[in-house]
Amino acid sequence: MGEAYLPGVAEALNLAAAATEGLRGKNVPRTVTLSAPLSFVTLWLASRLDGFLSQNPNIEIRLNSAIWTDPNAELADIVVEVRDASELDADTPHLPNETLELVCAPALIGSLSTTALQDVLDSSRKIVVQGRHNVWQRWATKLGINLEGDVPALKVDNSATALEAAAQNLGFVVTYSSYCQPYLKDGRLATWSKAKVQTTLCLALTGSPDKPSWHPAHKVFDWLKQEFQKGKSTP
Are 104 and 143 members of one domain?
yes
Any domain includes 208: yes
Any domain includes 93: no
Question: How sure is the predictor about 23, in pLDDT bands with cuts at 50, 70 and 90?
Answer: very low
Rounded to whole angstroms, the Cα distance separating 176 from 101 reads: 6
Longest dimension (CA), the chain: 72
Are 11 and 68 members of one domain?
yes
Rounded to whole angstroms, the Cα distance separating 133 from 82 reads: 9
Yes or no: say if 99 and 197 are a contact pair by the CB < 8 Å rule.
yes
Alpha helices (runs of H) in 27-176, residue ranges in sequence order: 38-40, 46-55, 106-109, 111-114, 117-122, 135-143, 159-167
pLDDT tens column, 174-219:
999 999 999 999 999 999 999 999 999 999 998 778 888 889 999 9
Count other C-beta atoms under 10 Å from residue 26's C-beta.
9
Domain of 77, in residue numbers? 2-85+201-233
pLDDT tens column, 105-121:
999 999 999 999 999 99
CATH code, 149: 3.40.190.10
Are 194 and 213 members of one domain?
no
Any domain includes 91: no
Helices (H) and strands (E) in the chain, counts: 10, 10
pLDDT tens column, 137-180:
999 999 999 999 889 999 999 999 999 999 999 999 999 999 99
pTM value is 0.82
Are 14 and 79 members of one domain?
yes
